[in-house]
Amino acid sequence: GFSLVELMIAITISLLLLAGVIQIFLASRQTYTMQDGMSRLQENARYALDRISQDIARSGYMGCSDSAAVAIANNLLDQTGRFDFTTPIAGEDNTGVDGTDVLTLRFGSSGGIHLTDKYDTDTKYSLQIDSTNPNYNNIRQYDLMTFGDCGHIMVVMITNDPGTSAGAIQFNPGIAADSGPNQGQENISGDWNGLEPIGTEKGSYATAFSISSTTYLVGASTSGTGNSLYVDSIAPANELIQGVEDFQVQFGVNNDTDLGADRYVAADDVGAANWNNVVSMRLTLRLNTVDPVQAGATIAKDFTTTVRLRNRGDTIL
């Protein structure tokens, strides 16, 4: 048999080996937790920046019209906030949660629908569009739409049901949306003498586009811990990613003829008359790993990207 001393030595060696195994397990677990947290952080950053970048790139899209060069007749009763279509973008500096920025982007859908008849004063609150176009099936009553050619644009809210009108789109004043993201909105009796008849520009075709206004902002997370990035193109706002510590936007302003950004400034420094001169944006997101990954704490990292508006400027960022 074994002596007491031999047994004690064997037990001691076993405990040392067990302690080593436990240490290796704990180190592996910590490494996995760190890698998982960093992977989640990077994936959140990639998704959020890709999503915002896509919307920035198409901001101001109005078909063949340059939203900065032509007069836009906004025929909505409420023309404030996300319903202000005089500029394709708008920003608020440090007005969000914990001093974060707020970014609003406006653009038409990629699928336009041609008008089948010219718009004029005789049909002031009605237009006929191509109901055989597949995009026609996507429009609904109380949607916002823009109608125009290369020289004229007007923004209205649909007041009839396109699904039963065979292409006839009405935007009568005084009819308020009773549901949906545009609830309470209605059209006004606008003076559109400078716009009719749409479809008379040489070489252009009058086209209808669904138009949307999307706002990105930071708010309290639904998890109850920290903040998240939200997009409020529809009601209620959608939570995109969690673990957001900061969201900052700088706007590239072009003040000469080279079409590239001359300087990057915060929203408060753009100036009311310069929003249509913004040709690019620089986004910075500070994200954390949401869950603790090191010494009981989260790890945060900054992610920055610069995006050009496709409908503004050239490739100089």
User: Tokens 């005089």 identify what position?
Assistant: 86
- Rounded to whole angstroms, the Cα distance separating 243 from 301 reads 11
pLDDT digits (tens, 9 = 90+) for 143-166: 999 888 777 788 999 999 999 999
CB 44 within 8 A of CB 243: yes
pLDDT the model gives residue 317 = 47
pLDDT the model gives residue 32 = 67
pLDDT the model gives residue 172 = 93
pLDDT the model gives residue 257 = 73
Q: 107 versus 24: which is more confidently predicted? A: 107
C-beta pairs of 168-173 under 8 Å, 24+ apart in sequence: 168/126, 168/127, 168/128, 169/126, 169/127, 169/128, 169/129, 169/145, 169/208, 170/125, 170/126, 171/75, 171/125, 171/126, 171/127, 171/145, 172/125, 173/125
pLDDT the model gives residue 21 = 79
CA trace torsion 210, 213, 214, 215 (10° rounding): -170
pLDDT the model gives residue 200 = 66
pLDDT digits (tens, 9 = 90+) for 98-112: 999 999 998 888 778
pLDDT the model gives residue 234 = 58
**Which of 86-100, 134-148, 182-196, 239-253 is predicted least confidently?**
182-196
- Whether 12 has a pLDDT exceeding 90, the answer reads no
- Rounded to whole angstroms, the Cα distance separating 12 from 4 reads 12
Q: Residue 76: CA atoms inside 13 Å, Cβ hemisphere, count?
A: 26
pLDDT the model gives residue 158 = 95
CB 145 within 8 A of CB 127: no
Residue range 71-75: average pLDDT? Answer: 79
pLDDT the model gives residue 187 = 93
CB 107 within 8 A of CB 88: yes
